[in-house]
Amino acid sequence: MQTSPVAQPFPALPFGANVAWMPSAARPTALRGPALTFTGDPFRDGLERTLVHEPDAIVAMQDGRITHFGAAARIAPLLPAGTEIRDFGKDALISAGFIDTHVHFPQTTMIASHGAQLLDWLDRYTFPAELKFADRAHTRRVARAFLRENLRNGITTSCVYCSVHAHSADILFEEAEALGLRLAAGKVLMDRNAPEALRDDVQTGYDDSLALIRKWHGRGRLLYAITPRFAGTSSPEQLAAAGALWRDHPDCLMQTHIAETQAEVAWIAELFPDRANYLDVYDHHGLCGRGAVFGHGIWLGDDELKRLHAADAAISHCPTSNFFLGSGVFDIARAKHADRPVRVGLGTDIGAGTSFSILQTLNEAYKAAQLNRHPLSAAHAYYLATRGSAAALHLDDKVGSIAPGMEADLVVLDMRSTPLIAFRMDEARDFAEQLFIQMILGDDRAVQATYVAGRLAHDR
Ligand code: GUN
Ligand code: ZN
């Protein structure tokens, strides 16, 4: 695998006090190669009605948006004179950029920490790592390393937990803006059951979040996510304040954790004895609705899934994290059940998650589904990583698929990125098999190029 020094800065665009999103140069550009995208939800409507596989496609872009998409023979004559076409060849796959719906950027520094389950892991590794984000220079260095890893893995949008420090969100937003990324993030709210230096309080947590919303939400491509870490680290008063803030700013996202481990579920029941279940803790405080993104949700009951469906809220499925911490096995077929389907996106959950690679995250999602006796198809998995995750964040009108008018965030995979993959691909009988090989055997080496708003942001 490629490595590069952590401190190396991006060749960033300049940013200043009020630089709006600067899309790529006005010059039209186009990519050529096989392409995959989705026009809808295959879990609901089937692959026949939603999957688009074009073996020789052109995706053309200008001013940060996709202008044309279709068979090369049809699109080529329509392109404006002077369009620069990059042909990736028949062994590539052009897709919408991958979307990570649940990730902690400060935890880039402590990924792969041994030997503890969730609540101990937070105390032993996570909080000590997050304490270091009091330092702005450290924060910026990690934010840059985090975003670089995202781009190396074809991730063009993520929904990010920062640390409790307001400047951690400021710095991440500054770095994302410099790259032109569409990204949601929020400063963590946490006023109990954490080290003193990592605690805010009801008032400062509210005030800092409000100031960050005013500064960043809707600026260029950036979005604010109100971020109570979870019910274990927020008092009822802080949850209520977060709910009030969301009520006043309903187009923000709201992210938190839910029902990740059985020990956590039992602890939350002790902390909130009057609530019917875990989701009811959030619901009671105004934190269950459209735009809510609940991390994990492994141990939710049927009533809670029903409520998530009715509220149009989402679950972020984080399989590498769930296996790493020994939290449990999320049942995606149950969550997407046709009687009350819940929006489900994919999350790396770095640093409980073990890989920035979305392909590796899909590998583990497949295994989680297998343990529930449900063989997740490769095409359904790619939907989850793109349009499905965009839908979980209510951003599917902007990113997550390839179509004219969509923002030009794209990843180009090399379908023969290692000797073993190339060897195995020679035996693949159809496109479904080829896709499956990528998500089981592929990783960052398979990401040939990443485009953000039409601009080449990573080239292997
Ligand atoms: N629950 C509360 N905080 C966290 C966190 O940082 N990571 C994970 N995986 N679960 C959490
Ligand atoms: Zn998490």
DSSP string, 47-104: HHHHEEEEEEEEEEEETTEEEEEEEHHHHGGGSPTT-EEEE--TTEEEEEPEEEEEEE
pLDDT of 196 higher than 80: yes
For the chain, the average pLDDT equals 94
Q: Look at residue 38 in the predicted model and tell me its pLDDT.
A: 98
Q: Which residue has the least CA distance to atom 8 on ligand 1?
A: 352
**Category of 107 on φ-ψ map: left (φ > 0), alpha (ψ -120 to 50) or beta:** alpha
Distance CA 121, CA 112 (A): 11
321 lines ligand 1 (CB under 6 A): yes
pLDDT of 16 higher than 70: no
**Mean pLDDT to the nearest integer, 322-339:** 98
Among 123, 190, 260, the mutation site with the greatest number of ligand 1 atoms within 8 A of its Cβ is: 260
230 lines ligand 1 (CB under 6 A): yes
What is the Å distance from ligand 2's center to 295 Cα? 6
Q: Which ligand is nearest to the CA of 198?
A: 1
458 lines ligand 1 (CB under 6 A): no
**Mean pLDDT to the nearest integer, 238-260:** 98
pTM for the model stands at 0.94
190 lines ligand 1 (CB under 6 A): no
The minimum-distance atom of ligand 1 relative to the CA of 257 is 1
162 lines ligand 1 (CB under 6 A): no
Confidence tier at 27 by pLDDT (50, 70, 90):
confident
Could you report the per-residue pLDDT of 276-311, keeping only the tens digit for each?
999 999 999 999 999 999 999 999 999 999 999 999
Determine if the peptide bond prior to 351 is cis (ω within 30°).
yes
256 lines ligand 1 (CB under 6 A): no
Reported residue count of the chain is: 460
Non-local (6+) Cβ contacts of 306 within 8 A are: 340
Q: Helix 358-371 to helix 431-441 angle, to the nearest 10 degrees? A: 100
Q: Which residue has the least CA distance to atom 3 on ligand 1?
A: 229
Confidence tier at 7 by pLDDT (50, 70, 90):
very low
296 lines ligand 1 (CB under 6 A): no
Q: Which residue has the least CA distance to atom 9 on ligand 1?
A: 352
In what helix (H) or strand (E) does residue 206 lie, and over which residues does it extend?
helix 202-216
The minimum-distance atom of ligand 1 relative to the CA of 353 is 9
